[in-house]
Structure 1
């Protein structure tokens, strides 16, 4: 039964067509996957289906075929027509032009749609995990609501954090609570925009399985966007490949994914780069802390590491291995429990454990870091984020030239880079925001660049562009890169050497191909292509 009809939809932002005459049909109880690179129009379509402000189509219609109660305006999927509503009236079959509907009907449909956006943790920060879920449950008594909340948190594998305050959760844990909250609304349509794009493999697997059980297993209707082919294969009944706002192909998930992957380029093979002497030295570095739940946690446990000047060095491992803590120690955001951390500046070695302007303060201006939980300044456009917002004081004309250069370096072609200079973060796709954040680090031309999970929201094509841009930055600016990642394919493509971490320890250092041989079967399943979420 036809549920959602997308008819001749066109949408323009600032003179640029982002959706072009789209025609799509979603049947009740099916899952539509939308595959495409960053900036292809996936997120715009998702927000349009939800009825989000500023996403009204310029042309065309979004038609919802629903069962509507004429008395209380309750809304259900179309198969519920002619059944009895809780108020006692009978549901009637209605074809609703969503964006032209009566505002009460428009609001009634919106209430029955749940949406899960990438990198958006819409939680009550000061409330517990279970209270966050309970606030989304309506129409049930207290006891029933509590059992329902527990079941949903079990589905999201978050029962071990049920009494924790939301603000104290990690990003991945918050995303799992968001999923439980959205399912608690008992939606008739579930919209998911890159739900696993920014997550580590373990957390992505939790979300993935919860979507299979909570959506696909319950026969709900869903539209999900992703640039990961595996998500499309595992979840979708039909897949659409979207590029520059147009449908390139639609149909069987396996066939569409295969066609999409044929258009993903391989990174350029560069000549061997001659590195200099050591620029980073870590000796027996430890970071231990006490957790009420887990006792003494050895986040980093006796790490020895040496990175050469001009080297692209990878530290790989699954969630909880200690990678991010290691990057924070190196940057000086966290003090080690013991050990030595030295960074070479000119001809001098600087002790990064020494605070103040004569210690790590001397090195900080020459270090750049892109955190996994990066953010852009929402009230500044791209040009502002790249220059004035990070106190890079340049003449206006030179600032724009510099910004265009660095945007080109992270994968935007020259024409598109000019178009996005004056866009704000909410006008960019998730992958575009990620690349702008990377450009924000590179524009200051640091000696050492630390990238924590740099490929999180990037589609395969953009990943290749970023791989090439890292090599280009290394060659032109003699920059050194330390890449923290669970994406072994990316490390194989870009890194000169790599180390694998488990349980806070470095277990193997060598060429990336040598490190692959040391991966366990579980690590290979979650870190190598063909198995990623």
Structure 2
């Protein structure tokens, strides 16, 4: 049975088309997969289905086939198959009706939006100061929030997303993968008839991603909830989607079975550049028995990092790998002075001097921090500045106007934008960019200040395969041309094998092994390889 029909949809931003003549039908209870490169229009289409005001189509229709409550004070909506039944809210009859979403009345449109949930890429959307279970209960609404039934439902949802062991933890203390699973529990707590998932597993390690995939199957597909999902992971399309489209430059260039679409899309993915491995011997970061312990009343002592020692050399691309929650992000935050160590030694070389990163002040840690660059896993751009502003004024990079444009355009080329497009990108606003484009601009924001050491937290998380290869090559180019040192936090061993000279494996706050990426892979068990290597 038809659920959503898109007819002749067109959408432009500032005169530039981003969706062109989209015609598509989504069946009730099915999952549509959307595949495409960064900037192809995937996120625009997702936000249009959500009803986000800025993404209203310029022309065309988004039609919902629904069963809507005849009680005008209720207007609860269900999928069309429920027509003739009783409204679960007020008991009145549900009547079949097709609604033109973007031309509907305010109340009807609001009723549809209440039944749509969304997971946005890299947007964890949690209340940081609240516990995990409070975050889920808040999604159920204010009325009867703490009633026994709601509490049990919240616990069931957290068990489904494998987060029942974190029920009383404060959200800010969770890892990125854990936050993403709580976000899914929150969205399911809203009892949606449609779930929109924009790269929901892009920042997760393969093991955690597989858990989330299984949850999406059990909690969404098996429950008959319709879903639209974008992803650059072929296995996501093959495991979750019933139907798939390939978007390119805003057009559907192929529509069909997910395995066929994935196969044809992957034929367009370039190969990573093969570079000769160079041994780097001049030390720049030294870490000795570093620890970071937290204490809370509920949890006692939490050993986020527990006695880690390592050395990183000038010009190396060094990977710190491990599954979600292993301690790798906390370790790198201590390296760049964002988090104070509980114990141990951590020094960074600046010129001929070794700087103690535990000591604050302009003569100590403050001397090094201007030469450190960090791309957070939860990065963000300044929404009220265009791309040029984000790459200059917003980060206090004061340059003559014309030189600023040239330098900004050049750095955009470095992160994979085509030469003839990089100059026009400078006048775009962040909300006009796709998720992958924003990611690359955020990486450019780090590289444009020419730091000595660059820390990248899951740098390929939400990137399609083509963009991923472009960024891989960009990192290699930046290291060779600028003599930069890269510390890369990742759960993606395929990426680490492509780009890193050396890697350390972390688990449970401890460093288990250090060596070449190939040596790290050789030490993994068969099960671990399956979790961390997508192509295994």
Aligned to 1:102: 105
Q: Give the match for residue 21 of structure 1.
A: 21
* Contact residue 276 and residue 310 of structure 1 kept, 8 A: no
Q: Is the 8 A contact 1:230 1:530 kept in 2?
A: no
Using the alignment, how far apart are the partners of 2:309 and 2:172 within structure 1?
Answer: 33
Q: Answer yes or no: is 1:120 the counterpart of 2:123.
A: yes
Whole-angstrom distance in 2 between the partners of 1:197 and 1:354 = 36
Give TM-score scaled by structure 1 length: 0.94
Q: Secondary structure at the match of 1:517?
A: helix
**Counterpart in 2 of 1:78?**
80
| Other structure's SS at 2:53 match | coil
Residue in 2 that maps onto 1:90: 93
Distance verdict in 2 for CA 1:128–1:483, change over 3 Å: closer
Q: Is the 8 A contact 2:472 2:498 kept in 1?
A: yes
Hey, what's the Cα distance between the residues in 1 that align with 2:127 and 2:499? 40
**Where in structure 2 are the equivalents of 1:367-382 lying within 5 Å?**
367-382=372-387
CA contact (8 A) 2:280 2:315 kept: yes
Per-residue Cα deviation, 1:18-77 (whole angstroms, up to 9, x for no partner): 111111111111111111122111111111111111111112111111112233322111
Does 1:331 pair with 2:336? yes
Q: Deviations over 1:479-512 (max 9, x none)?
A: 1111121111111101122222233333332221
For 1:464-483, list aligned pairs within 5 A: 464-483=469-488
Q: Is the 8 A contact 1:318 1:523 kept in 2?
A: no
Structure 1 distance, partners of 2:296, 2:170, is 15
Task: Tell me the TM-score normalised to structure 2 length.
Answer: 0.93
Residue range with higher mean Cα deviation, 238-247 or 145-154: 145-154
Tell me what 1:147 maps to: 152
SS at match of 1:92: strand
Any idea what SS the aligned residue of 2:345 has? Answer: strand
Q: How does 1:376-525 map to 2 (within 5 A)?
A: 376-525=381-530
Q: CA shift at 1:125, angstroms?
A: 4.5
Change in Cα spacing, 1:97 to 1:421, as seen in structure 2 (3 Å) is same
In the TM superposition, 1:263-282 aligns within 5 A as: 263-273=268-278, 275=280, 277-282=282-287
Structure 1, 173-182 or 98-107: larger mean CA deviation = 173-182
Distance 1:505 1:168, change over 3 A: closer
The structure 1 residue matched to 2:192, chosen from 184, 187, 194, is: 187
User: Taking structure 1 as reference, are residues 129 and 506 closer, same or farther at Cα in structure 2, changes over 3 Å only?
Assistant: closer
Mean Cα deviation higher: 265-274 or 12-21: 265-274
Contact kept in structure 2, 1:266 and 1:464, CA below 8 Å: yes
Q: Which residue of 1 aligns with 2:249?
A: 244
- For residues 516 and 300 of structure 2, what CA distance do their matches in structure 1 show? 35
After superposition, what is the alpha-carbon deviation per residue over 1:160-218, rounded to whole angstroms, capped at 9, x for unaligned?
A: 33334445544433332322222122222111111111234444333222211110111
2:320 corresponds, among 315, 325, 328, to 315
- Offset, 1:257: 1.0
- Structure 1 regions of 5+ residues with no counterpart? none
8 Å CA contact 1:37–1:243 kept in 2: the answer is yes
- What residue number does 2:2 align with? 2
Long gaps (5+) in structure 2: none
Deviations 1:347-392 (A, max 9, x none): 2222222322222221211111212222222222211111111111
- C-alpha separation between the residues in 1 aligned to 2:261 and 2:199? 18
Does 2:180 align with 1:175? Answer: yes
